[in-house]
Structures are given as C-alpha cells and as structure tokens.
Amino acid sequence: MSVRIRIWDLPTRLFHWLLAAAVLGSAITSETGPIDWHARFGYAVLALLGFRVLWGFAGGWWSRFSSFIYSPASVWRHLQGRSPAAHLAGHSPLAALSVFALLLVLGLQVGSGLFSDDEILFMGPLASRASSQTVAWMTDYHKDIGQWLLLGLVVLHIAAVLYHLLVRRDNLISAMVSGDKLLPEAEALPASADGIRQRLLAGVLMAVCVGLVAWLVLSAP
C-alpha cells in the first residue's frame, strides 16, 4: 500500500519555477539585451535565493536544510543503491549535493553581477563601491567561469531529472508541480506542513527579501 505525502510545500514549488524562469530570463537577456532587463531578472534570482535560504530553516520538513544534509557515508550508500526510504522522499543524497551546488553557483553569479560593469551602458549597483581591480575580476568571473559553471550545473540538473523519468521511471517533476509523492505506507515518513500559516509566513519572508533587494538597488549611488 502507498500513501500520498506532501513533500514540496507550495512556497518551495513557486520558488523553484520562478527561479527557473528568472535564470532563463537573465540568460536570454545576457545575449539579446536589454541589459536593464538582464539585471532585473538577476535581482529576481537574488530575492528568490534569499528566500530559499530563510525557507531552509523555516519551511516544510522536506524543504529544511536539516532534512537533506547527509554524511559522506549516506552518499556512498546511495551510490550503491542502498538508501533508506527517508533518504529518497525529499532530495536524495546525490540530489542534495546538486541543490547546494546550484544555490552556491547561482549566488556567485548574481553576486558577481552586482559588481560587474559593461563599460558602456550599465554598472551593477555595487560596482561603484569597489576598486576597479575588483570590478574587473568580478566582471571576468561573471562573463566567463561563472556562466559556464552555472550552465553546466543546470544541464546536469535537467539531465538527472530526465534520467529519473525515462530510465528509472521515477517522475520527480510531478512532485515539483503537485507537491506530493506516493510513498510506501510502512515507512511512516513526516509530511511537509503546507497550510495557510506556512504560506503567509513564506509571503512575509519573500516580501522582506524583495524589500532588501530593492533597497540594495535603489540605494546605489
């Protein structure tokens, strides 16, 4: 017998799809322009990342970092196909590594963007506060290593999800849409809280993150 369990609360799902849209928007406009829109999509990524860090402490059970920080032994067990059900309900040990890597590399991409200068039309809001050497270094990272690292991780991420879908017959995408997974009843796994109070809290935290990013951008000299 299987039971339906809420794994991804609504705020995590909205975060995920808005993040994917904002990263795509930023990537497309980095090639086509206009640069103001490139930066706006980037600011959206920044606010979403800020929210996700807070949600890693305040969110539903399976969105909390504490539920997907694994020991090296757990990663090893996972690679051998011996993970317990509790390690497969939310982010698996391998998925968790890729989630942390994605969040870190996205943070570096947006962070370096804030210090970048195209020397024609646009300067990131922190560029005028840094030395010209720092700005040159950040712009180089942003346009070169950073963009390729991010592209590599996103391609790997989507390939892993498709591998699960097509080879392992395990549809991870539907849980990122509906929030729920069908899991063996015997395991008695906790569900993520996803009621009105959680959603209101998420709204407040997101508003705080948007406010902080707006302040950062508008207070630039």
Q: Which residues bind ligand HEM (CB under 6 A)?
A: 12, 15-16, 19-20, 23-24, 26-27, 30, 38-39, 42-43, 45, 52, 63, 91, 95, 99, 102-103, 106, 109-110, 113-114, 116-118, 122, 124, 139, 142-143, 147, 150, 154, 157-158, 161, 172-173, 176
**Cβ-based nearer residue to ligand HEM, 3 or 100:** 100
- The conformation of residue 119, written as its DSSP 8-state character, comes to S
Q: How many CB atoms lie within 10 A of CB 18?
A: 16
Q: How far is the CB of 117 from ligand HEM (least distance, A)?
A: 6
H-type alpha helices, 9-167: 10-32, 35-58, 72-79, 86-89, 93-114, 132-143, 145-166
Considering the complex, what minimum distance in angstroms separates the CB of residue 185 from ligand HEM? 20
Token representation of residue 176: 């990122």
> Is 169 strand, coil or helix?
coil
Nearest to 12 by CA among 196, 190, 177, 214: 177
Residue number, 50 or 113, with CB nearest to ligand HEM? 113
Question: Least distance from C-beta 24 to ligand HEM, angstroms?
Answer: 6
**Sign of the CA dihedral with 211 first, then 215, 218, and 220 last:** negative
Tell me whether residue 25 or residue 208 sits nearer to ligand HEM (CB atom).
25
Cβ atoms 73, 81 nearer than 8 A: no
Contacts of 174 (CB under 8 A, 6+ apart): none
Q: How far apart are CA 72 and CA 127, in angstroms?
A: 39
Q: Which is nearer to ligand HEM, 32 or 71 (CB)?
A: 32
Place of tokens 């795509």: 24
